[in-house]
Structure 1
Amino acid sequence: MTLHDFLLFALPAIFLTGLSKGGFGGALGGLAVPLLALATSPKQAVAVMLPILCLADVVGLKAYWRKWDTANLRVMLPGAALGIAIGSLTFGFFDERAIGLLIGVIAILFVGLGLIASHPTPRPLHKGRGTLLSTLAGFTSFVAHAGGPPVMMHLMPQLLDKVRFVATVNLFFLLTNAAKLFPYAALGQFSRDNLLLSLMLAPIVPLGVWSGLWLQSRINHLWFYRIARLGILLAGVQLIWRYL
């Protein structure tokens, strides 16, 4: 694949990552790795995306500083740490085909979760359920940067304020992604080529984050999520078709 073809997938993937981080709590973040995995190997897509995700987390932090839900984070972060540990110990057992299929299945599950995560009245924080889903989020985030579905399944039934929801998701993934840097380095994921690709794509991140912040109060939230889920569904189906 030529550089032109790679950028055809990579640029929208990185922009959507920043857009999602900046304004919508990960609604479009699940598209990034599936899009990149159409242009390169799934393992390389995961490696290239981690520095990008860390940068997006940091750029978006100022806008949501201290607006997160502390009670949820106290439940979610220990679970995420456990999931990362499991992911780091089992990462070598997944071949390229398995990771591609996993990303595709997670992308489709994201759409399914969106159909069942809406409730007429808020549900209280459930520590056991939150820990279980956060552990799953840590694991899927480690192997495929796809921790969004379990996190949304945990948070969306609580019907948090929009800003509090996004701030909680952003801080959760800022700390989760930072924790993944050390095992990724130990696993040899940060090759020279992968880091150069991340560096080349990095300037797109602030543009995406700032666009997300601008759009947050200017778009119909319901329709935004419907369109986002459709895009994730298409990317997931494409990956499963490719690797089956």
Structure 2
Amino acid sequence: MGAAVVAAVAEAGASVVIDHVGASTAADAAVASLMSAGHRAIAVEADVSRPEDLTRLVAAAVEEFGRLDVMVNNAGIETRHALLDTTEQDYDAVLGVNLKGAFFGTQAAAHQFIAQGGGGVVINISSVHEDWPMPGNTAYCVSKGGMRMLTRTAGVELGPHGIRVVGVAPGAVDTPINASTESDPVKMRALDAAIPLGRVAEPAAIGSVVAFLASDAARYVTATTVVADGGLMQSSLGL
């Protein structure tokens, strides 16, 4: 999904900083692809669960491109453990990446936006599970619920500075995090049947939403979440 976001915002004219953790193979390939198409991009290693790494990530963007206009907090992990089976290590790992990363990513971006002037946009990639319980994946749901309130509260706090904070809540998307479901034909048929549009989303569908929200076309959207789930949540809730 991150790769799709990068492609969409680059196509819209943005210079891009791609974060990676550990091996840079995928990030370097994405940078090479973007540059071959005439876009500007760099890759930076940063662990989003470490606020100092997020500060360094923002600094790298400013050093390379002169300013920061949009921050997309997209990193996410899950353990798929129920409440009774979740260890402290599981909890800390999920909350560290999903919620702490988004919190301090928003903070680091906001400091830069205010310092340079002109406002800015923070986009938090959440999930339908910020509202919709998923038994057996409790820490993940807690992290996404926290992102929901981070988006709303930060959007209100930062609005006077001209900074918008918007959440994007995908439903089922064709990404590695859903590989176990996609490898089971029975589960896939049930999932597709539960989605009013009849299919899981391709990552590009989420990338296009992010590109729109980052643009001036969405200049009056803040402190809320845009749900992109093919109608899954409403159908499943019986609404």
What TM-score comes out, normalization by structure 2 length? 0.29
Task: Write 1 or 2 for the structure with the bigger share of strand.
Answer: 2
Greater gyration radius: 2
What TM-score comes out, normalization by structure 1 length? 0.28
Which of 1 and 2 has higher RCO (CA within 8 Å, sep 6+)?
Answer: 1
Task: Write 1 or 2 for the structure with the bigger share of helix.
Answer: 1
